[in-house]
Amino acid sequence: MFKSLRILPKQLQIRSQSNLPQPLRNPKLPPGKLFINNEWVDASSGKTFTVRNPANEQVVTELALADRGDVDAAVAAAKEAFKMGSAWRTMDASQRGFLINKLADLMDRDINLLASFEALECGKVFLPTLKGDIQWAIRNFRYYAGYADKNNGATTSVDGNFIAFSRHEPVGVVGNIVAWNFATLILAWKMAPSLAAGCTTVIKPSQYSSLATLHVGELVKEAGFPPGVVNILTGPGKIGASIVDHPDVDCISFTGSTPVGKEIYRKGADNMKRLVLELGGKSPNIILKDADVDKAVEHAHFASFHNMGQCCCAGSRTFVHESMYDEFVEKMKRRIANRKIGDPFDLDVDHGPQTTKEQADIVMRYIELGKKEGATCEVGGNRIERPGYYVQPTMFTNVTDNMTIAKEEIFGPVMQVLRYKTIDEVIERANDTEFGLASSVFGSNIDDINTLVQGIRAGSVWVNCYFMITPQSPFGGYKMSGIGREGGSYGIHAFSEMKSVYIKTPTKNS
C-alpha cells in the first residue's frame, strides 16, 4: 500500500520480470467461523452472512455472524488470558517478541495467500497489495516484536529518601476494530503494538474484509500464542458496537469513518476506555509553482487514485499553482486515460472495483453532485459497464472550496483540481476543513516547503512523496481525523498504562 513515488520505478521493474508472484484466484479459504480461545467455533445464533467478490458480484463464501453472546465469550477469553499468573502475563517480554516475529514469519510464508484474499474479497489490485500492504504489515509486526522488551519506564530523581521509577504496564483487553480498505495492514497497526505491550485482544474485521484476518487467526495458533490472547469476531458494525459497550474491554482502537468515531468517543466515556481513533480525511496535495509538471502529475495521480481512492488520507484536493494549472490538467487527463482498469488479479491492472456496491453508489452520488454544483468533469464520471462495482477514475476542474466534493470525504476515485496564487492563500484554504489527517507538498523551493510544513494542520506532511507510513513513525490526525497515534513508540504507549512507584529508603533515624 504505502510507498513513495521513488519506489514506483522499482515496482515497474518488478512487473517486467518473469518471476512475478502469482495470485491465487481460488485460494483455500479459512474456516468460516469465529476464532475464540484458539478454537474455531460457530456463531452462537448459528447465523451466517454472505461474502461477495466485488469484481464480479459472485458469492465467495458464508462466514459466521457473531452477536452479543459471542462478544461476551471472546471478551471473557481475552480477560482470562490477561489474568495475573496466566501464561501470557508471566511470559518474558522477549518471548512475546519471539511469538510476534514467528507470526510475521508465517505471514511472509503465506504472503501470496493474504494478498489473494484481499483481491478476492475487497477488489484490491493484487500486485500492489502484495508488494505494498502485506509487506508493510509484516514489517510492522517485526518492528513491534523488537519493541516488546523495550517498552521501558524510567527512574526519577525526587526529593526526600525515596527511590522512584515508572512502569509501563499493559492496559488490558483491547478491542481492535479494523476498516476494510487496508484490512491486513490496519490489523498490523493495531494488533502488533497491543500484543507487544502485553495486552490481549478481541479483533473485529469489517464484514467486507474478513478472510485475510481469519487466516491470521490460523497463523496465531500455529505460531504458539496462548489461548485467549487473540480472538476474532466476524459480522457487521453492531458487533463492534458491542465490543465498545463491553465493560471488560479496557481500550478501543478503531479505524473508520468520522461519524462512527464520534459515536465510539461518546460511548467510550461511560467507563473511561482508552481510545485510539483514526478517522476520515480530506487531504490537500499542494503542487508548487517550481514543480516539474510531469512528475507532479504522477505524484498527484498516485495520491488520488491509489486503491481506487479508498484511502482515508488520499490527496484528493489537488491545489495547483495558477502558472501551471492548464498544463497540469491536460497532462492529468492523459495520465488517467492510461490507467488500466480490470480484474484485480491481473498483474498489469492498476484499478479494480470499489469494495462494495454501497460505496460505489456513494461515489456516484458525489460525482453527480459535483456536476450539479458547477464543477467541470474533465474525465470519467460514470460507472463502468461490466460486472462488479467499477467506477471510472474521475477528475473535476473549476472546483471551489465551498463545493461539497471539495469539503466531504468521497472515499473513491475522484480528484478535485483547484487553482491557487500564493503560499499564504493555499495554507488557509488547505486548513479550511474539519479534517486534518494528512497532506503533501510537491516542489523544490525549500523556503516554501518549510512554510507549508509548519502551516498545514495535519498529522502527516509528505514532501515529494505520498503515503509514507512506516512502523517507526507516528500516524494519526488533527481535528475530526481522530485522536491518538499509531506507529513508533507512540503506538505502543496507546496500549500501556503508566504507573509511578515510590520506595522509601531507610535513614539513620528511621
| Three-state secondary-structure class, residue 412 | coil
Residue among 122, 129, 96 at smallest CA distance from 349: 129
Q: Are 355 and 310 in contact (CB under 8 A)?
A: yes
Q: Are 183 and 118 in contact (CB under 8 A)?
A: yes
d(CA 423, CA 439): 15
d(CA 215, CA 117): 9
d(CA 184, CA 210): 9
Which helix (H) or strand (E) covers residue 50, if one does?
A: strand 48-52
Q: Are 243 and 249 in contact (CB under 8 A)?
A: yes
* DSSP state letters, 325-382: HHHHHHHHHHHHHT--BS-TTSTT--B---S-HHHHHHHHHHHHHHHHTT-EEEE--S
d(CA 475, CA 473): 7
- Chain centroid, CA 134 distance in Å: 12
| Three-state secondary-structure class, residue 169 | strand
| Three-state secondary-structure class, residue 58 | coil
State the residue for C-alpha cell 473508520.
256
Q: What is the gyration radius of the CA atoms in the chain, in angstroms?
A: 24
Q: Which residues are catalytic?
A: 278
Residue among 43, 44, 18 at smallest CA distance from 32: 43
Q: Are 412 and 357 in contact (CB under 8 A)?
A: no
Partners of 164 in the beta sheet?
A: 156, 502
Q: Are 439 and 461 in contact (CB under 8 A)?
A: yes
Burial class (CB in 10 A: 0-12, 13-18, 19+), 54: buried
d(CA 117, CA 144): 24
> Within 13 A of 80's CA, how many CA atoms are on the CB side?
13
Q: Where are the alpha helices (DSSP H) in 27-67?
A: none
| Three-state secondary-structure class, residue 110 | coil
Q: Are 161 and 505 in contact (CB under 8 A)?
A: yes
Which helix (H) or strand (E) covers residue 396, if one does?
A: strand 394-397
Partners of 321 in the beta sheet?
A: 420
Q: How many H helices and E strands in the chain?
A: 17, 20
